């Protein structure tokens, strides 16, 4: 293995048309070393034997030279098999050569859509002639039935455990972020030449499907087309019934220069002073990021709140030297946890039977709990949180805290993430030097004290989306909030 790592250090990525089998297998060797030693959830949903088989299958896929798209698909399929929502070739972390080769073609859809009962239903139309009004159902793209497309995509989705709702939502187009998974993987699985897309669609006003051709967009064209529909990360307004409405499109604001905390606390102060009847926090489409929701919870709790009793475990105390050159991160303390990582003397009951260290770096008290302290102006209004399958990291944890402590009402659809715990909190960006592909490697696994369902958080008020609601522009989640 050390010899393989030495070989890796001597290579560099130059975006070749074909990547050698030897180079790809060396990348697999590096991947395996990193994951088997560092990944906290490698065996959460798979046995050691099953993962050995998966590594072997990945190696067999590289018994011949591969193109970059082929290698990217193979690594994606492998990481998806781990069933961890934070382990994948991250689109925004790829080198510009990889991004240019895989993500920047004129292959993007001129519409947004949701999967409703496995049907592709248009929510926004960017075609110049407005050929796809809201509520249109796309039946096929370039002759490929959309249900077949979804079947081919699902094994590539990053999601935790058996949460297939998250997998479907992952392949929706809703205009969140520069890159969306459908735009990445559809042209890799169903290559087409030229910008023309042949669609079969049934529009709301039509009795029969229609065949027509539209032009695919580049990433820049799509962003320009959807720009008027994209708001700032947070939106605040008052609804006609007097409720405050807080839309939070993302909590991934690590590198943002925007002072979100000042902005948010000013509005929460205003809400408390106004004594509005309720605060509606809209987290739909928001995977997570920072623990921004704690700023809201501080205004609700009257005493210290102990967050759900999930222990934080890591697989290592210090990174072995041969791995270090291939691991990027924003915080080099992740390379050596030091005294913050205490080796478990007794196996944790819900964790795999592997060597683990308890990470106490982020604990707020001696019992290992994370605490939320009351701060700021307390408000008496009710809390309603709109959720969906996208919520799979910090937003999942926020929804779980709200529900478990009866701090508010969850409305919408089952979240992403998993009640058995998720992996995240700290990351290495694993750089595979022969293929040039980056893979996100989460470092902290959260594990409950007692066995939990292999599922996301079920809302208190379940709301089903319908094609009719989309066509009519109705928001059924907002409509489900009680009047008073």
pLDDT tens string 143-182:
999 999 999 999 999 999 999 999 999 999 998 878 999 9
The pTM of this model reads: 0.91
Q: Which of 112-116, 228-232, 338-342 has the least mean pLDDT?
A: 228-232
Question: Which structural domains are found in the chain, ordered by start?
Answer: 2-100+431-439 (no CATH), 105-229 (2.30.42.10), 234-309+369-419+454-479 (3.90.226.10)
Distance CA 277, CA 230 (A): 28
pLDDT tens string 372-383:
999 999 998 999
Q: Which of 7-11, 97-101, 266-270 has the least mean pLDDT?
A: 7-11
| CB crowding 102-141: b at 16 or more within 10 Å, else e | bbebbbbbbbbbbbbeebbbbbbbbbeeebbbbbbbbbbb
Q: Assign 11 a pLDDT band (cuts: 50, 70, 90).
A: very low
- List the structure tokens of 460: 């208190």
Averaged pLDDT, 460-465 = 97
The residue ranges of DSSP E strands in 283-401, in sequence order, are: 305-306, 310-314, 327-328, 341-343, 357-359, 371-372, 382-387
Mean pLDDT of the chain: 92
Q: H helices then E strands: how many in the chain?
A: 14, 20
Q: What are the distances in angstroms from CA 405 to CA 192, 237, 400?
A: 51, 27, 8
User: What phi and psi, each to the nearest 5 degrees, are found at residue 306?
Assistant: -85, 120
Q: Which residue has the tokens 């081919």?
A: 152
Averaged pLDDT, 328-345 = 95
Q: Is 343 exposed, middle or buried (0-12, 13-18, 19+ CB in 10 A)?
A: exposed
For position 404, what pLDDT does the model report?
93
Is the pLDDT at 258 greater than 50, yes or no?
yes
Q: What percent of the chain has pLDDT over 90?
A: 87
């Amino acid at each position: 293995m050390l010899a393989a790592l030495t070989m890796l250090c001597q290579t560099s990525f130059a975006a070749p048309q074909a990547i050698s089998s030897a180079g790809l297998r060396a990348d697999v060797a590096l991947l395996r070393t990193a994951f088997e030693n560092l990944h906290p959830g490698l065996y959460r949903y798979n046995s050691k034997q099953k993962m050995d088989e998966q590594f072997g299958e990945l190696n067999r896929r590289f018994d011949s030279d591969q193109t970059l798209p082929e290698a990217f698909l193979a690594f994606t399929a492998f990481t998806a098999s781990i069933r961890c929502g934070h382990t994948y070739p991250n689109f925004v972390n790829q080198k510009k050569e990889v991004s240019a080769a895989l993500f920047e073609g004129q292959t993007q859809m001129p519409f947004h859509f949701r999967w409703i009962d496995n049907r592709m239903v248009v929510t926004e139309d960017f075609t110049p002639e407005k050929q796809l009004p809201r509520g249109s159902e796309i039946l096929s793209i370039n002759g490929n039935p959309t249900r077949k497309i979804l079947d081919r995509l699902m094994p590539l989705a990053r999601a935790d455990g058996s949460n297939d709702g998250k997998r479907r939502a992952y392949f929706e187009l809703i205009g969140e972020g520069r890159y969306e998974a459908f735009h990445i993987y559809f042209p890799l699985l169903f290559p087409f030449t030229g910008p023309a897309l042949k669609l079969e669609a049934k529009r709301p006003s039509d009795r029969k499907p229609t065949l027509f051709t539209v032009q695919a967009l580049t990433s820049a064209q799509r962003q320009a087309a959807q720009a008027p529909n994209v708001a700032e990360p947070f939106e605040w307004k008052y609804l006609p019934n007097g409720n405050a409405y807080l839309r939070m499109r993302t909590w991934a604001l690590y590198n943002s220069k925007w002072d979100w905390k000042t902005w948010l606390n000013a509005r929460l102060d205003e809400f408390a002073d106004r004594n509005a009847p309720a605060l509606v926090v809209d987290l739909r489409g928001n995977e997570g990021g920072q623990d921004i929701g704690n700023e809201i919870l501080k205004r609700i709790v009257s005493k210290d709140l102990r967050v759900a009793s999930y222990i934080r475990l890591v697989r290592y105390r210090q990174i072995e030297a041969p791995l270090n050159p291939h691991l990027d991160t924003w915080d080099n303390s992740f390379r050596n946890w030091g005294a913050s990582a205490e080796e478990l003397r007794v196996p944790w009951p819900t964790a795999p039977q592997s060597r683990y260290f308890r990470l106490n770096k982020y604990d707020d008290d001696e019992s290992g709990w994370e605490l939320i302290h009351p701060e700021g102006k307390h408000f008496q209004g009710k809390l309603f949180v709109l959720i969906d399958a996208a919520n799979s990291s910090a937003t999942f944890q926020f929804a779980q805290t709200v529900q478990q402590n009866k701090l508010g009402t969850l409305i919408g659809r089952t979240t992403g993430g998993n009640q058995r715990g998720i992996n995240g909190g700290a990351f290495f960006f694993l750089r595979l030097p022969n293929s040039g592909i980056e893979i996100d490697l989460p470092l902290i696994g959260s594990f409950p004290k007692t066995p939990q369902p292999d599922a996301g958080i079920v809302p208190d008020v379940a709301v089903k989306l319908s094609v009719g609601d989309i066509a009519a522009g109705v928001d059924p989640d907002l409509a489900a909030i009680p009047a008073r």
